[in-house]
Amino acid sequence: MKIKVPTLGIALILLATAFSCSRPKKEKEIKHKEYPNIVLMMGDDHGWDEVGYNNHPFVETPVLDEMAASGLRFDRFYSGHPTCSPTRGSFLTGRHPNRYGTFTPGWSIRPEEITIAHLLKEAGYATAHFGKWHVGPVKKESPTSPGAMGFDEWLSHDNFFEMNPVLSRNGETPQKIEGEGSEIIIEETIKFIQKSKEQERPFMAVVWFGSPHEPYSGLPEDLALYENLPDSLANKKVRLTSNETGEQVNRPLRDVLQERYAEITAMDRSIGKLRTFLKENNLKENTLVFYCGDNGTPADAGRTGMTIRAQKASIYEGGVRVPGVIEWPAVIKNPASTSAISVTSDLLPTLAEITGQSLPDRPLDGISLVPFFNDSKKQRTQPLCFWQFQPGKVFDHSSQPYIDPKLQEGTTPLVKMAAGKFTRDFKNYKYNKISENDFTGERSIIKDHYKLVVKELSTGSQESELYDIMKDPGEEKNLAGEYPDIVKEMQVELRKWQESVLNSLTGADYK
């Protein structure tokens, strides 16, 4: 391996690269203060095209642009799923969310999952979560709260949040905090970092913004940046939540985008505030700072950037391709970009290698990104799979809850009303037996430069599409008829992966 990490030592890195899923945990071989600090950030509904460095025609993201220009930019970074809760599960566990029943938003993680916070606590890190959680309730009695999943402290929301958010600190009664949402959670992150520094402990902060998820709102100075969007955008109306009533309304796209882009710019500015703090406190050099989105651009954003196929909730590129950038000056010394496939599931294996921790003894879907830090031309050899499991075909009112429903009730209110209330509840069900009917649902596999998409047709049959995703990122030319052997080979690999996922869903990984 070419990577050189001065604070860890060559011997540790060589050991780290040799880890496998079956190895037991080894004793810590270096002192806590030698580990890098880690900040992992994620935007909510922030698609690949909505950053300045990807040539968006309107949105301004000077801080993310600077990160992309000074660090390692992943041009083919993917969310683990085309919707938010499942992607957040993959971010935490290194595993596809179907393995533990986080199928769609509102489905929780399972208490037995091992997260990045568990691993880094073992290494002596102070760990904290700030912002959107959405893989279970944040209240302290929840078995899937941030605290239960390895975080020492948290100021978090069950779902998304806007201006003046209502957040729960360490699982206590939620309290309203006045201010812009992104700025609030970055200020909390800075306080946590200051405390960790005083305690001479390495820190990991997971910062999940509520922006730019609808309903949108912005500060006057941010709204002013986008007051001259083209008149043509006013001719189209989109459906989204009203900030006044919490109900669905139709509004001109131009007005909606002015507010959405204002949220993105405010989030970007808050990231800049964090980076400035790290620099002024001599922490920047050995702090790994990461940012990505949790799924593609939603329909209410009426894509105005680069055209990639489809949007949030789709397994086409527009649903799963998101911004992805890493800064770590001590290691990533030269700006670079990579076309290598990478995904939110890669975070846990990456952090395990960096900190010398053994991987969980269970199937993982991510790989370590460390080899890409000094070799941006390197490509991923392990296939990457997506699957929109269909829980409605598998579970019903008679299914046995995996967690007591009372413990799955959320407490943090949000603007959007659903099921007659302004809070969100979660669910997860026991799955005991694999059935052939359970393999359905849209799915895809990316390997080398090919992407296979398997779709369910209204007739009950399936259709396969094949794209050369490097030459055809818009997924316009279906090559399935030209390369039937490649289609068949990828179908076999995808099916084998699905079998592994369903085996995990039965709980076999926890035995």
pLDDT tens for the chain, residues 1 to 511: 334 444 443 333 333 333 333 333 333 434 455 799 999 999 999 999 999 999 999 999 999 999 999 999 999 999 999 999 999 999 999 999 999 999 999 999 999 999 999 999 999 999 999 999 999 999 999 999 999 999 999 999 999 999 999 999 999 999 999 999 999 999 999 999 999 999 999 999 999 999 999 999 999 999 999 999 999 999 999 999 999 999 999 999 999 999 999 999 999 999 999 999 999 999 999 999 999 999 999 999 976 676 799 999 999 999 999 999 999 999 999 999 999 999 999 999 999 999 999 999 999 999 999 999 999 999 999 999 999 999 999 999 999 999 999 999 999 999 999 999 999 999 999 999 999 999 999 999 999 899 999 998 988 889 999 999 999 999 999 999 999 999 999 999 999 999 999 999 999 999 9
φ, ψ of residue 324 to 5 degrees: the values are: -150, 115
User: What is residue 32's predicted lDDT score, i.e. its pLDDT?
Assistant: 53
Question: pTM for this one?
Answer: 0.94
Q: What stretches of 2-82 show up as alpha helix (H) in DSSP?
A: 10-17, 62-70
Are residues 332 and 287 in contact, defined by beta-carbon separation less than 8 angstroms? no
Three-class SS state of 185? helix
Rounded to the nearest angstrom, the gap between the alpha carbon of residue 473 and the centroid of all alpha carbons in its chain is 21
Q: How high is the pLDDT of residue 34?
A: 79
Under DSSP, is residue 85 helix (H, G, I), strand (E, B) or coil?
helix
- The total number of residues shown for the chain amounts to 511
Q: Which class does domain 10-19+38-382 fall in?
A: alpha beta
Residue 458 pLDDT:
85
R_g (Cα) of the chain, nearest Å: 22
Cα dist. 379→83, 371, 383, 447, 503 in Å?
26, 10, 11, 10, 29
DSSP H or E segment with residue 452: strand 450-456
Write the CA distances from 209 to 134, 153, 206, 310, 407, integer angstroms: 12, 17, 10, 24, 24
Residue 395: count of CB within 10 angstroms of its CB: 19
Asked if the bond preceding 215 is cis, omega within 30° of 0, the reply is yes
- E-assigned strand segments in 137-186: 153-157, 166-169, 175-176
The span from the CA of 368 to the CA of 253, in Å, is 40
**Cα separation values, 406 from 112, 141, 245, Å:** 19, 10, 27
Considering the chain, tell me which residue range(s) the CATH 3.40.720.10 domain(s) occupy. Answer: 10-19+38-382
The C-alpha atoms of residue 28 and residue 49 are separated, in whole angstroms, by 41
Return the structure tokens found at 96. 């596809």
Look at residue 294 in the predicted model and tell me its pLDDT: 98
What class does CATH assign to 387-394+422-510? alpha beta
Dist CA 374 CA 364 (whole Å): 24
State residue 403 phi and psi, 5-degree precision: -130, 145
Distances (CA, A) of 9 to 12, 20, 166, 354: 6, 20, 44, 11
pLDDT at 5: 45
pLDDT of residue 33: 55
Q: Where in the chain is the domain with CATH 3.30.1120.10?
A: 387-394+422-510
Handedness of CA 293, 298, 301, 305 (dihedral sign): positive
